[in-house]
């Protein structure tokens, strides 16, 4: 594994000399300047190098892999090769989103993109693989099912892309991804994208699937998120939280808001009370069938409803314009989930506000996340809804003030969710060394 440090000075997409169809699509869609991850990733990717890329959510990773991959397909037409590029992603919604972006980029060309996800017609997808669909965007489960049909749709594959690899690992797709990778042409290029390198498993997967690769690390989880203001509001219990939530939805200004809960049942339970306050809210979680999920996403995307109540399923990858407010009804289970949730706001360089509601049993979890991220959340008091809980009793003032409020020192607090805090804590300050098995690329 090698790690590049220099950032080439590429200020315009035209410096990449991309296929004219791509250049046209970029200018038609108003993309002029490549983002840092695009600047760093596109040149080596055009050279067919294997890459492990970590860059924060919203940094433009999709174009970073679509542009070089599509360019290489376009400059070397081969209509008989079957599927030449495969993009694996964790959720159907994300697959759909990338598929649409792909179609936009391929406008006016004869290259075909295809979508393979669960919940859609199996036969149609089988045919799609037979019909020389040059680039396929898919979730791992369904691809695996199609592979059992005893054909080798990926024997000519030129590029395999694993997007949101950390999330795929979280969702238990690790084995599926490895199996699919084994069915792909051995001489392919592989690109692995992740929001973080600190996730246990990402480097391991890179070793197995990429073997020799170059590491491009732009951001890690501990990077500050200056364009997203992060607040916490203390609450006594869930019914107090509901009042705070209703108040926030009524008093904050936003185009769209996203409310996260840790469980499906809680997400469902929040919907009616929020609606009763006159807010246009809807629920999204994994219990829903595919049709229902699509309907919900469309209503939210189109702005028919402007508050989406979701479980972590919606936390990754989705890129919806205008989400200016993210509320964590419950403290997320770990720092990684926290980052992914808040990454739904402040897309590109917009500003965003995130508010986490914290009751006393969640204080330590919240403090653990603060330490993991090496940042302090701004404590906000809502006068109208002041509660009894004001932080742990043995709280010592650290002397520092955050947003005008004293920041709590939490060192002596007993952890309640030891497992989660340990998982978060053990990565602090550590840079994961590449495994001994990793072969140097040069
Ligand atoms: P990531 O996958 O890193 O989370 P996305 O690829 O979803 O990020 O991109 C986030 C947003 O930034 C999208 O709305 C995308 O259209 C926009 N974007 C990507 N690249 C550029 C660019 N070069 N210039 C302007 N906007 C961009
Ligand atoms: Mg992405």
Distance from C-alpha of 57 to C-alpha of 341, rounded to nearest angstrom: 10
- For residue 317, which atom of ligand 1 is closest to its CA? 4
Q: Could you tell me which CATH number the domain at 228-385 has?
A: 3.40.50.300
The ligand minimizing its distance to the Cα of 343 is 1
Nearest CA to ligand 1 atom 15: 60
Q: Which ligand is nearest to the CA of 64?
A: 1
Atom 25 in ligand 1: which residue has the minimum CA distance? 31
CA quadruple 330, 335, 336, 338: dihedral sign: positive
Question: Is the CB of residue 112 less than 8 Å from the CB of residue 132?
Answer: yes
**Distances, alpha carbon 52 to alpha carbons 65, 70, 192, 368, in Å:** 11, 19, 5, 28
Residue 229 confidence (pLDDT):
87
Whether the CB-CB separation of 201 and 174 falls below 8 Å is answered with yes
User: Which listed ligand is nearest to 62 at the C-alpha?
Assistant: 1
CA of 349 to the centre of ligand 1 (A): 10
- In this structure, CATH architecture of domain 2-217: 3-Layer(aba) Sandwich (3.40)
pLDDT at residue 73, as a whole number: 97
Q: Report the chain (442 residues): mean pLDDT per 10 consecutive residues.
A: 49 92 95 94 97 90 98 91 94 95 95 91 81 92 87 91 93 94 96 79 84 77 67 96 96 95 94 95 88 91 95 70 93 81 72 94 92 80 93 59 38 32 36 31 26
Say how many Å lie between the first and final Cα of the chain, rounded: 8
Q: Whose CA is closest to atom 10 on ligand 1? A: 58
**The residue to which tokens 């002029």 are assigned:** 32
- Output the six-digit token pair for 98: 């990338």
Do 2-217 and 228-385 share a fold?
A: yes
Ligand 1 centroid–CA 79 distance in Å is: 30
**Helix or strand or coil: residue 9?**
coil
Q: Percent helix, strand and coil across the chain, each rounded to 5? A: 40, 20, 45
- Ligand 1 atom closest to Cα of residue 59: 3
pLDDT for 432? 34
Ligand 1 atom with the shortest distance to the CA of 343 = 4
Residue ranges of the domains in the chain? 2-217, 228-385
Q: Which of 56, 60, 68, 221 to mutate to test the pocket of ligand 1 (most atoms within 8 A of CB)?
A: 60
Residues 227/349, Cβ–Cβ less than 8 Å? yes
- Quick check: helix, strand or coil at residue 355? strand
The pLDDT value given to residue 123: 81
115 CA to centre of ligand 1 in angstroms: 20
Query: Which ligand is closest to the CA of 164, given by its number?
Result: 2
DSSP secondary structure code for residue 384 in this structure: G
**Atom 5, ligand 1: which residue's CA is nearest?**
60
Query: Could you tell which of 13, 36, 54, 62 is best to mutate to test the pocket of ligand 1, judged by most ligand atoms within 8 Å of the CB?
Result: 62
Pairing of strands 405-409, 51-54: unpaired
Distance 248 CA to ligand 2 centre (A): 29
- Ligand 1, residues at Cβ distance < 6 Å: 31, 33-35, 38, 55, 57-63, 319, 347-348
What pLDDT is recorded for position 222?
A: 44
Decide: 439 and 212 in contact? Cβ < 8 Å. Answer: yes
Distance separating alpha carbons of residues 427 and 69, to the nearest angstrom: 33
């Amino acid at each position: 594994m090698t790690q590049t440090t220099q950032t080439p000075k590429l200020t315009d997409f035209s410096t990449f000399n991309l296929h004219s169809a791509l250049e046209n699509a970029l200018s038609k869609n108003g993309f002029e300047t490549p983002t840092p991850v695009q600047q760093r990733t596109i040149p080596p990717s055009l050279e067919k190098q294997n890459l492990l890329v970590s860059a924060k959510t919203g940094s433009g990773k999709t174009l970073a892999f679509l542009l070089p991959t599509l360019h290489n397909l376009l400059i070397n037409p081969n209509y008989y090769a079957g599927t030449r590029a495969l993009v694996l992603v964790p959720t159907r919604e994300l697959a759909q989103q990338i598929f649409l972006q792909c179609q936009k980029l391929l406008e006016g060309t004869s290259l075909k993109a295809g979508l393979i996800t669960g919940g859609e017609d199996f036969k149609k997808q089988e045919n799609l693989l037979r019909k020389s669909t040059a680039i396929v965007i898919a979730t791992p489960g369904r691809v695996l099912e199609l592979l059992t049909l005893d054909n080798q749709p990926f024997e000519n594959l030129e590029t395999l892309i694993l997007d949101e690899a950390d999330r795929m690992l979280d969702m238990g797709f690790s084995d599926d991804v490895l199996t699919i990778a084994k069915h792909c042409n051995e001489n392919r290029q592989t690109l692995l994208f992740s929001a973080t390198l600190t996730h246990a498993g990402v480097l391991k997967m890179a070793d197995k699937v990429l073997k020799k690769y170059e590491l491009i690390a732009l951001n890690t989880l501990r990077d500050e998120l200056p364009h997203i203001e992060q607040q916490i509001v203390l609450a006594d219990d869930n019914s107090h939280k509901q009042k705070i939530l209703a108040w926030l939805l009524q008093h904050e200004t936003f185009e769209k808001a996203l409310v996260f809960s840790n469980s499906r049942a809680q997400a469902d339970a929040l919907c009616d009370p929020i609606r009763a306050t006159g807010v246009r809210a809807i629920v999204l979680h994994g219990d829903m069938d595919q049709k229902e999920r699509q309907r919900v996403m469309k209503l939210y995307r189109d702005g028919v409803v402007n508050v989406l109540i979701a479980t972590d399923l919606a936390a990754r990858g989705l890129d919806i314009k205008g989400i200016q407010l993210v509320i964590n009804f419950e403290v997320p289970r770990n720092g990684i989930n926290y980052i992914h949730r808040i990454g739904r706001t402040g897309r590109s360089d917009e500003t965003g506000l995130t508010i986490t509601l914290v009751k006393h049993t969640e204080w330590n979890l919240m403090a653990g996340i603060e330490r993991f991220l090496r940042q302090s959340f701004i404590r906000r008091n809502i006068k109208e809804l002041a509660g009894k809980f004001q932080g742990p009793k043995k709280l010592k003032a650290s002397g520092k003030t955050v947003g005008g409020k004293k920041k709590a020192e939490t060192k002596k607090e007993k952890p309640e969710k030891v497992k989660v805090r340990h998982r978060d804590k053990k990565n602090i300050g550590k840079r994961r060394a590449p495994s001994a098995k990793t072969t140097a690329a040069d």
